[in-house]
Amino acid sequence: MHTRKTATLLVTCPDRKGLVAGISEFLFSHNANILHADQHQDGTLFLMRIEWDLGDFSLSMKDFAHRFEPLARKFEMQWRIADSGARKRMAIFVSRYDHCLVDLLYRHRSGELDCEIPLIIGNHPDTESIAGFYGIPFHLVVVTPENKREAESAQLDLLSKHEIDFVVLARYMQVLSGDFVASHADRIINIHHSFLPAFHGAKPYHRAFDRGVKLIGATAHYVTDLLDEGPIIEQDVIRVSHRDAIEDLIQKGRDLEKIVLSRAVRWHLENRVVICGNKTVVFD
């Protein structure tokens, strides 16, 4: 968690001379104390993350866009700024598997994930008691092939009512519609229980077992309207062997899923992720 108030600026634009100098000089002119600065070139594209202390910063966040716009226009920037004092509001979607949910809630309570969690939405009642233990409202929205449109409409109403900034699918075993994804573009994080692009879709552990793989993995990615094809935020793997049954792969995989998802959520919260086409740049 932040121990002081900071602002973070994320920039994407065509790579040109003078970009770093221009941004740094702008911040210096308003008495910014820069804490972290990182940049990356991807072909002809320039990406930057810069964080500064707001203690002596002479420009209010309300006036930042107006004052920064001439520089942004000059360099054709796509940019966004985040204030550490404005905590993001995260909704968690879950089905029956509870391991990712429990891990996220524990990390939130311990202070590792600096955000608000106004609600949990489940399509089964199995995890309601866990939500209650952590004092977070649980909303049951049953989803069937016949009521999918109505169910998603109810979910979207809840997200709007609670002013949710982004959604985490903590082993939510439903495919979201294109309209739902479009309403929260680049703001839905999913955990998939394989090392994408291998074994996308359903039952990846079973297919990995049938294939006799020696490594299994987990992948956290932003959701797009193409199943399991969104920009990848984080991945990890663990070794398995011929001695492992499917149940062993599932158990080992669940440990990975928790770690990978929590990393992705934390990096999203800390404004470290920039989407670059169908890839991401994650600033450390």
Q: Strands 273-276 and 232-239: what pairing?
A: unpaired
* N-to-C CA span, the chain: 15
Please identify which residue in the block is written with the tokens 């079973």.
Answer: 206
The reply to whether 228 belongs to the active site is yes
Q: Which residues contact 104 (CB under 8 A, 6 or more apart)?
A: 92, 113, 168, 170, 261, 262, 265
Beta bridge partners of 274: 281
Place of tokens 């702008």: 26
Active-site option among 83, 98, 228, 236: 228
Q: What is the dihedral of CA 261, 168, 95, 118, to 10 degrees?
A: 120
The catalytic site residues sit at 228
